[in-house]
């Protein structure tokens, strides 16, 4: 997929012949804003759903799920793992903005499958400070989806945990496969 702000394939740095990648993004935003009209939407998602997914650039969540602007809250991080910060966002999403359903999406070929907690040690050796966060790496994507579902379902901060479903997105086929929580 290419966009007007896309960096040419094979580009390894943050600088292109036309400036930095950020410069290109800002220019793309200026074009977007020139045609923008306020849709008059509320911050509350129309479908009352929050989607937690991996930050992987291959996942176009709105297209894959048939969503439109304003339909959902989208929370993304490395692995789509349910961390304390994800619980924070989900709590705000539910308690302040009315969401009731939660969809968790991991994917095939995730980079967290090749990392270990050793990554934190390497960072500590390089920068002189151990990160306060866990890498949350995993070997079994299905088990990690189950663990994420369990973290959501047992959080005392979340009001609505009866409609929590977990999936694995296949990056080759584009299909979702539901993971049994058991």
pLDDT tier at 182 (50, 70, 90 boundaries)?
Answer: confident
Q: Give this prediction's pTM.
A: 0.87
> Tell me: the pLDDT tens digits for 66-81?
999 999 999 999 999 9
Q: How many of the other CB atoms lie within 10 Å of CB of 92?
A: 14
Per-residue pLDDT at 1 exceeds 60: no
pLDDT tier at 170 (50, 70, 90 boundaries)?
Answer: very high
Tokens linked to 8: 């040419």
Per-residue pLDDT at 7 exceeds 60: no
Give Cα 170 distance to the centre of its chain.
15
φ, ψ dihedrals at 12, nearest 5°: -105, -15
């Amino acid at each position: 997929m290419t966009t007007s702000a896309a960096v040419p394939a094979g580009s390894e740095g943050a600088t292109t012949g036309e400036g930095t990648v950020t410069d290109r993004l800002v220019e793309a935003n200026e074009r977007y804003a020139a045609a923008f009209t306020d849709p008059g939407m509320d911050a509350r998602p129309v479908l009352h759903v929050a989607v937690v997914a991996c930050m992987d650039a291959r996942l176009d969540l709105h297209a894959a799920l048939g969503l439109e602007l304003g339909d959902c809250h989208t929370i993304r991080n490395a692995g789509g793992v349910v961390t304390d910060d994800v619980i924070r966002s989900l709590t705000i999403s539910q308690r302040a903005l009315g969401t009731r359903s939660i969809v968790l999406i991991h994917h095939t070929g995730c980079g967290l499958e090749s990392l270990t907690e050793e990554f934190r040690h390497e960072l500590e050796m390089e920068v002189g400070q151990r990160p306060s966060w866990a890498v949350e790496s995993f070997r079994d994507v299905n088990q990690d989806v189950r663990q994420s579902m369990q973290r959501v379902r047992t959080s005392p901060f979340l009001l609505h945990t009866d409609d929590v479903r977990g999936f694995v997105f296949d990056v080759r086929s584009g299909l979702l496969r539901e993971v049994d929580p058991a």
